[in-house]
Amino acid sequence: MRKRQRRILQLILICLSLLLISFWANGRLQQRNIATAVAKGKHIYDMTALSKVELDQLDMQTAVLTDPEITALIADHDFGFLDAVALGAGEAAAWKNQGCGARNCAHIALYDYDAGGTINAILNTDNHRIIARWFDTNAFPSGSEFILPKAMEIAAADPTVRAILGDLGDPEPAMIPMSAWLMDDACREEWCVNLTYHDPAGSGKIFHIFINMEQNKVARTFFTRGRADLPVAPPPPQRYDFSDGCQEDLYGWDVCWEMTANDGVNFYDASFEGTDIFESVKVSQVEAWYPSWPGGYRDEIGSRSSVPPYGPTEFTDFGDSFEVRQLFTEFTHWPNCICCYRYEEYIRFYEDGRFQIGFVSHGPGCDDLSVYRPFYRIDLALDGRGQDDVWVWDTTQWVEATQEMELYPFVDDLSPDNEKLATFDGDTSYRWQMYRSDPLGLDEARVFLVDFKESEGDGPIPPGPGDVFMPPRQWIDGDAVSGKDPVIWWVPLLKTKKSNPTWCQPDPEPGINPCETILEARPAGELVQPTEEELAAIPTATATAVSQETATPAPTNTPRPVEGEDAEDIILNSGCGSCHQIGDLGEGHKVGPDLSNIGSIAAERIDGMSAEEYIFESITDPNAFILADCPNGPCLPNIMPRDYTNRLSSGQIDLMIEFLLEQQAESVSLPIVGDANEALPAPKTPASVKNQVAAAITSPAFQLVQILLIVMTFILTLFLILKLPDDD
């Protein structure tokens, strides 16, 4: 072989080696960045995981993956380990005969990425035997530290994420990965996880990354609003302050309670004067719904959940009743955070046999306009399990609930005694009423009546698909409920308000504007049909005030007007800016179309309709005209509030129309946030030198430069070799 040929071959080998080393180094750096991001996420999990019984997670994985029945279920499937949590005595009651008691049995969950849903197992840790197994096709579990590597790897490969955040290991996460859903995307019916980061540009906003865990891709990215910090000292960190307990024979009541991993406080084995009342009351999830996305979170409360307990479990004796209450919060810096949550769960037991189930939300959540939906499961056991009759009020009479059913609305069309539901077993009888508390009279709830079945909520309850009330809706299958073993699911709808009256918001001062909902069950005598006189006395809109013992504001059935004397205040107080960009008002890339140039195009929208008429109709009847395209996808009906005709005066509407007609900015084509084909500009705020170097090393542009340099070196060297005389 000639010397020139040998040199060319050596050059090719050297360049190939350099290319391989370059790719290997970049891959290692990328993996280190992902590992750093995973470590930061796990650190947040460590701060929120407050289980008093620590399980060997590797041992739990081994146990479930060596079980023959489980391995048969997941054969040839792509699956992932989710978590293992210890069960309390109340949660484990279904497996008491298999040796389960307080914290000696564990619930283990896997996710099936191919078929969707979770594979569940109950392990007795005393003998290391799996004693129960089931598959839940509708489960969309909360995020866990074990799915972090997969989620981070998907996010790190997305060009939009890299353009906004740079290296995923550099920015600080806002909260732990959350199970989330989008109303207009596959994330409504497939399992998606939302990663959240503080905006590196320093805007105070939160950057959201929706990851479809089944399709292995980023479904959408967007920002949510920022908010100035309040002058409030951060709460002190705490761990393990909550407590399990039992109360015996106080005001006639016996009841126990325990902290669960993901279903809040489980109240169980409640009896009054020796008669059983309920088997269990717990919260399976808190669904947070944001119209501006449109979508939300499946929050969970508990010792190993997205919103952990904070402070001790409070027991209060009021002299004629007692209450057990637990606060749950993202405690590291509430209320000076955007995407963080603060809830309270409690039950109050009275000496006359009444009990009140209550839930409080403090906000602020990820956006100003939102709806909180706690999912309560109430497992009745009136005078023991079975044979409990269930009747519902149907406009003018009580009718028996012969089949499983859904009640909606639940606070309207009530009996003369303001009741909607009656349950009884012999002489043990209870009537159910939800108190009105919303200051605008917008109280509402959905109630589901189902017959008790094993594995339908008696153990740990994973969340289901978003905005479809699963569970329990999938368990309504026509079975008999009255005279059987009924379970009541109560899902109140708590709607936040930013303008006066402020509701479900920490502004202007945390702790003074929480929203609260109460469901009361009170003893009653024999169920009798009302007389004609009683029916005639029923008001057209039934309202009841919350007892003076609570701090809930007095309600009104008349929607309060939106305050504001100029267009900007009216628009902001109406919540328009949460979904629309309107010039300098509001935010772009939300669920509603950009209205910054509506004054120029309104007259062209509908033939024969002037710009003023079109805007008026769009405000007063939002579903009249639905545009085809909105920033994040097709425009959707029933997102914009439809009560502005009751809350806005004609003068206020005229001011809004005049202001909107003045919005004639030139139409700007903006890339849709989350489109993988469009990379948004990187933040202009200078980062530290370390971050700049790290971002440069792992960026696709820098990888391209490396390849070009090697190619140029190869070409130049090859040219010089060819110019050399051939030496044999």
Confidence (pLDDT) at 544: 35
Confidence (pLDDT) at 543: 33
Residue 503 shares a structural domain with residue 578:
no
Residue 340 shares a structural domain with residue 455:
yes
Is residue 156, in this structure, part of any structural domain at all? no
Strand residues in 415-472 grouped as ranges (E): 421-425, 428-434, 445-451
Is residue 175, in this structure, part of any structural domain at all? no
**Shortest CA distance to 193 belongs to which of 236, 155, 224?**
155
Residue 520 shares a structural domain with residue 585:
no
Query: In the predicted model, what is the mean pLDDT of residues 613-636?
Result: 84
Examine the pLDDT at 60 and tell me if it is beyond 90: yes
Question: Which amino acid appears at position 180 of this protein?
Answer: A
3-state DSSP assignment of residue 722: helix
Query: In the predicted model, what is the mean pLDDT of residues 504-524?
Result: 83
Is residue 312, in this structure, part of any structural domain at all? yes
Confidence (pLDDT) at 710: 62
Confidence (pLDDT) at 233: 76
Residue 579 shares a structural domain with residue 531:
no
Confidence (pLDDT) at 61: 92
Pick from 387-401, 525-539, 565-579, 612-626: least confident: 565-579
What tens digit of pLDDT does each residue of 65-94 get?
999 999 988 888 999 999 999 999 999 999
Query: In the predicted model, what is the mean pLDDT of residues 358-377?
Result: 88
Last residue of a domain, one of 661, 686, 719: 661
Confidence (pLDDT) at 551: 37
Q: Is 426 left (phi over 0), alpha (psi -120 to 50) or beta?
A: left
Residue 467 shares a structural domain with residue 391:
yes
Residue reference for tokens 């809830």: 343
Residue 249 shares a structural domain with residue 371:
yes
Q: Residue 351's pLDDT band (boundaries 50, 70, 90)?
A: very high
Confidence (pLDDT) at 550: 34
443 and 384 in contact (C-beta within 8 Å)? Answer: no
Is residue 712, in this structure, part of any structural domain at all? no
Confidence (pLDDT) at 250: 98
Mean pLDDT, the chain, as a whole number? 82
Residue 395 shares a structural domain with residue 456:
yes
Examine the pLDDT at 623 and tell me if it is beyond 80: yes
Higher pLDDT, 47 or 447: 447
Last residue of a domain, one of 119, 136, 153: 136
Residue 258 shares a structural domain with residue 347:
yes
3-state DSSP assignment of residue 661: helix
Confidence (pLDDT) at 568: 86
Confidence (pLDDT) at 425: 95
Is residue 417, in this structure, part of any structural domain at all? yes
Is residue 166, in this structure, part of any structural domain at all? no
Examine the pLDDT at 580 and tell me if it is beyond 70: yes
Query: In the predicted model, what is the mean pLDDT of residues 238-243?
Result: 78
Residue 405 shares a structural domain with residue 513:
yes
Confidence (pLDDT) at 210: 95
Query: In the predicted model, what is the mean pLDDT of residues 665-689?
Result: 35
What tens digit of pLDDT does each residue of 403-433 get?
999 999 899 889 999 999 999 999 999 999 9
**Shortest CA distance to 450 belongs to which of 515, 521, 375, 511?**
375
Last residue of a domain, one of 497, 513, 536: 536
Instruction: Report which listed range, 383-397, 500-514, 530-544, is most confident.
Output: 383-397
Is residue 86, in this structure, part of any structural domain at all? yes
449 forms beta bridges with 405, 488
Pick from 144-153, 219-228, 556-565: least confident: 556-565
Q: Residue 680's pLDDT band (boundaries 50, 70, 90)?
A: very low
Percent pLDDT > 70 in the chain is 79
What tens digit of pLDDT does each residue of 537-552 get?
876 543 333 333 333 3
Query: In the predicted model, what is the mean pLDDT of residues 428-442?
Result: 90
Domain of residue 119, CATH code:
3.10.450
Query: In the predicted model, what is the mean pLDDT of residues 632-646?
Result: 77
Is residue 499, in this structure, part of any structural domain at all? yes
**Shortest CA distance to 75 belongs to which of 120, 115, 106?**
115
464 and 140 in contact (C-beta within 8 Å)? Answer: yes
CA dihedral sign of residues 496, 498, 502, 507: positive
Query: In the predicted model, what is the mean pLDDT of residues 376-401?
Result: 94
Residue 527 shares a structural domain with residue 571:
no
Confidence (pLDDT) at 228: 74
What tens digit of pLDDT does each residue of 246-297 get?
999 999 999 999 999 999 999 999 999 999 999 999 999 999 998 888 899 9
Number of domains composing the chain: 3
Examine the pLDDT at 642 and tell me if it is beyond 70: yes
Buried b / exposed e over 305-340, threshold 16 CB at 10 Å, is: bbbbbbbebeeeeeeebbbbbbbbbbbeebbbbbbb
Q: Residue 92 — φ and ψ, nearest 5°?
A: -90, 10
Confidence (pLDDT) at 272: 98
Buried b / exposed e over 135-154, threshold 16 CB at 10 Å, is: bbebbbbbbbbbbbbbbbbb
What tens digit of pLDDT does each residue of 696-724 get?
334 455 556 556 666 666 676 666 566 65
Residue 637 shares a structural domain with residue 529:
no
**Residues in CB range of 201: below 8 A, 6 or more apart:** 683, 684, 685
Q: What is the pTM of this model?
A: 0.80
Show the domain range for 628.
567-661
Percent pLDDT > 90 in the chain is 45
What is the Cα Rg of the chain in Å?
29
Residue 374 shares a structural domain with residue 461:
yes
Confidence (pLDDT) at 184: 83
Q: What is the dihedral of CA 663, 564, 512, 545, to 10 degrees?
A: -120
Pick from 110-119, 307-316, 553-562: least confident: 553-562
Domain of residue 626, CATH code:
1.10.760.10
